[in-house]
Structures are given as structure tokens and as C-alpha cells.
Amino acid sequence: MTTDIEQTVANASVAKRPRRASTILTDRTCQKRVTERTKIYDRKCRGLYVSIIPAGIATFNYKFTDPTTGKQRSTVLGVYNPETFTVEDARSKVYALKALAPAALAEQLRQTKALLTKRGKTVDEVIAERIAWMKTPVLKADGEMRPRLEAWENTASHLRRFLSPRLGKTLASDVTKQDIATLSNDIVAGKFGKPSVSNARHMRKAASGLFNWAAEAGRDYVTASPCVNLPKLDAEHPRTRVLSEDEIRIFWHGLDRDNLPWDRRTRLALKFELVTMLRPREMLGAHRDELFDLDGANPRFDVPLKRVKKRRTIQQPLSSLAVEIIRQALTSEDQHFVFESPVYPGQPLHRKAMADALRGTMNEKCKGKTKTPGLCELLGLKPFTPHDLRRTAATLAGDLGFHDAWIAKCLDHAATSKTDVVVPTVTGRVYNHSKRMKEKRAVLDGVAAELRRIIGEPVGLSRAA
């Protein structure tokens, strides 16, 4: 016998059961904007419904009862398109399916399941596949096997740091343009650490590559990339930090102090960047086999293309000051790398070693406090980065009167003009393979001579103590 309480609970359960939305589907219904996935069933054609997602994509489906199992199943009919696949087209397809034999309908379901498997991946799953694809070794033009995208670590970092925490559990096909724009705004606003337009720009680039890759034929994890027509980001202001002559003098002589917590080769590497204008990644891997004619009249350093940003070999002339730094760094005949790691013998310094040495390492327990003070702090200098050393050297060369095109060659930048005459890009890319060694050597020798003048007298060390 049912009690009054049990009857009341049963009635309440029936009352709370949600009713399935049903209406007569029209093309206008399929264009409806929604904030979450919405299913609308067609009252005119039993079993037909449209599933609309926030991205604005409406997909027609047919739900029916499998006569062999007695269970309800569904199959995808297609994506709404006002020109090629309308509501009437979907109804016609349902009528045709109802006339099919059970075996034919089962084959249709099998194909549908395969399609849903492809489109049912989360953003985290797609990120994992993308990273594995990027770092897969492939044969490069120089005959070496290296990752398909050699800068994959940077791209992977932006995907993992920004996209994964916010959208990782979301189906890739459900990510909208609004999701990417909101994430971008939050990065700029500082909700992922320090406010950064640059990080937002890098996130967009990484996400765009991810979704374009996911939409390629054979994957079809998404129908289209949501990284289109996003609001423009504010312009980034280029860095302008250049060390003054006093700062160069303090920096240079300060690096020779014996009471610094940073190893000698890291400090020599910082001097080497100022003297050669090379990027940290290009110079930190310097091997004995890449150095030529150190005792001759034309010493040089050949940087292989795999370490160069533009993936082209650099032949960098070495000034007498650069050769002196190399000899100080090479302390034994068994040392293969000029700037060998103090932690991992036989390996070069890590690409971030110079930046860490300048700014110091952070204390994870006490935010904002350094665990090991950086060289800028120890020497009493306004903070700067390794890249600022390149800019400082280029500025010295400009002040000495060298032409911008020559300085650009030393920096491995593409020079497109000289004496106000525009040079076609194809000339530099295809036909002119000259390294302009004479011009580069003149610039670097001039910078070395100017540095010798600046550091000639060790003044200002009282400030650095």
C-alpha cells in the first residue's frame, strides 16, 4: 500500500521531469543564437531534431528505435546550410532513412559513430596530438632529422599555460570565437599572471595553428577555426633599453668579480653577446668545430642553421675582443663547448642561463622575492635582458657611423634598403647569398674598439660593491 509521503514524492518526480522541446522546424530556427548546446525536435517529422552549439553551427540528427535491440539510437544527417542543406532537405533524408532496410541503417550508424569519434575530442586531447605531431623528427634540408616544427616547445608552452587551463575539458568542436576572445582579454588583464599583450598574441597564434591543424582533412576534429575575426589587440611597444657608457663599464668590470653567485662561463657568455651581436641560442651552443682561424687574421664563428632563428647559416666574424673571451672560456683541451654548463659537463649552457643570471631566480614560496640575486641587482644596474645587449652593440655601431644595412647583417636581420634605394626581397632571398664578411668585420671590429675605449678605466665599481 502506497503511503501519502511516497505518493507525494512520486508526483513531484513526475512534475519535475523536463519536457522535450518540440516545434515545427524552420530555417530561421537553425539560425538561432544559443549560449549552450540546444536540441530542438521537429513536430512535423517524427525523430528529426537539430542540435545547435554556441559557435552557430546547427546539425541535423535523426533519432529512432532500433528494431533489433529495442534501444533508441541516432544518426547525423548533416550540418545546416541555407544554400545546400536546409530543413526540408533534412526531412527528405529522414523519410528516405525510414524506408531503408535494417542492415543499411546499421551501416549508416557505423559511419556516424566514426564521425562522432573524430569530432568528440576535447581541446586537451587535440593539444596532445598537436604537440606529438610538432615534435616528430623529420628530414630537414641540411640532411638532419629534427622536430617538424623546431620551435615546438614555445608553441606547446602557450597551449599548456593558457588554452588548456581554460578550455582543456571542452570539446574542440564547441570552442567559439567568443571563448578565444575572452581568454585573450583575460591574459591582457593579468588573470594569468603579469598582464601581457605579447602573451595574448602568442596564445592566439598557437591556438590558430592548433585549430587550423584540427580542421584539416583526415582529422576533422572541428569544422572551422574559431580564431578568426578576433578583436585587434593593442599595439606592443618595442623595447628601447640601451646601456649607457657608464653602465657598460660597470657591467663589464663587475662580471670579473670573484664574489658573484653566477659561474664564470655564464658571465663570459654575456660579454660575448655584447661583442658579437649574436642571439643567446646561436652562441651558447658554440662548439670548437665551429670556430675557425682563431690565430689568424680573419677569425670567424660559423653558426649552423639549426640554431639560427631564420634557419640559415651565419658566418660571424670575430673581433680580437671576442677571441679573447673564447680563450678565457676554453679552460682545457677536453672542453668541446665554449660555454659549457657547470651542472652538466659536456653540454652547453641552457638557452635561458643568461636571462636567469641577469634577473636572478625567483623564490616560489615568497612571490616577488629572489632566491638568487641577479647580476643587475648585484651590480646596481637598472634591469635589462640579454637582447638589450644586442641592441646596445647595434646602437654603438650606429653611433660610430656604420650603415644600417651592415649592422642588420651583423644582427642577422634582412636588410631591404641601402642609401634609400629599395632592394627587391627576392634579391636577398634567392640571388644574393653574399655574407658581406668585409662589412660585418668592419662593424664588429669597430664595436670592439669602442668597447675597449669605454672599459679602459674601471670606474664606478664602488657603486657595484
CATH of the domain at 431: 1.10.443.10
Amino acid (one-letter) located at 199:
N
Residue 427 domain-assigned? yes
- The pLDDT value given to residue 113: 64
Residue 224 domain-assigned? no
Average of per-residue pLDDT across 228-233? 92
Residues 267 and 392 in one domain: yes
Average of per-residue pLDDT across 176-185? 94
Residues 170 and 310 in one domain: no
Res. 435 pLDDT band, cuts 50 70 90: low
Tell me which residue range forms the domain holding 141: 123-214
d(CA 309, CA 282): 8
Residue 240 domain-assigned? no
Average of per-residue pLDDT across 7-27? 60
Residues 293 and 427 in one domain: yes
- The pLDDT value given to residue 21: 58
Average of per-residue pLDDT across 383-406? 95
Q: Are 243 and 392 in contact (CB under 8 A)?
A: yes
- Residue 138: strand, helix, or coil: strand
Q: Across the chain, what does the average pLDDT equal?
A: 85
Residue with cell string 545547435 = 52
Q: Are 275 and 448 in contact (CB under 8 A)?
A: yes
Residues 313 and 392 in one domain: yes
Residue 32 Cα distances to 28, 86, 364, 425, angstroms: 7, 14, 49, 49
Residues 330 and 343 in one domain: yes
Show the cell assigned to 203.
596564445
- The pLDDT value given to residue 358: 96
- The pLDDT value given to residue 179: 93
d(CA 109, CA 89): 19
- The pLDDT value given to residue 284: 95
Residues 303 and 447 in one domain: yes
- The pLDDT value given to residue 48: 93
Residues 133 and 103 in one domain: no
Residues 204 and 128 in one domain: yes
Res. 465 pLDDT band, cuts 50 70 90: very low
Q: Where a domain ends, among 61, 95, 118?
A: 118
HSE of 132, CA atoms in CB hemisphere, 13 A: 6
Domain count across the chain: 3
Res. 306 pLDDT band, cuts 50 70 90: confident
- The pLDDT value given to residue 390: 95
- The pLDDT value given to residue 103: 66
- pTM flag (> 0.85): no
pLDDT tens, position by position, 246-293: 999 999 999 999 999 999 999 999 999 999 999 999 999 999 999 999
303 alpha carbon, distance to own chain's centre: 24
Beta bridge partners of 51: 39, 59
Residues 132 and 114 in one domain: no
Residue 446 domain-assigned? yes
Is residue 34 scored above 80 in pLDDT?
Answer: yes
Q: Are 57 and 215 in contact (CB under 8 A)?
A: no
Q: What percent of the chain has pLDDT over 70?
A: 83
Residue 302 domain-assigned? yes
Residues 162 and 285 in one domain: no
d(CA 370, CA 225): 41
Q: Residue 24 belongs to a domain with what CATH number?
A: 3.30.160.390
Q: Are 236 and 198 in contact (CB under 8 A)?
A: yes
Q: Where a domain ends, among 118, 149, 181?
A: 118
Residues 130 and 95 in one domain: no
Q: Where a domain ends, among 74, 92, 118?
A: 118
Residue 227 domain-assigned? no
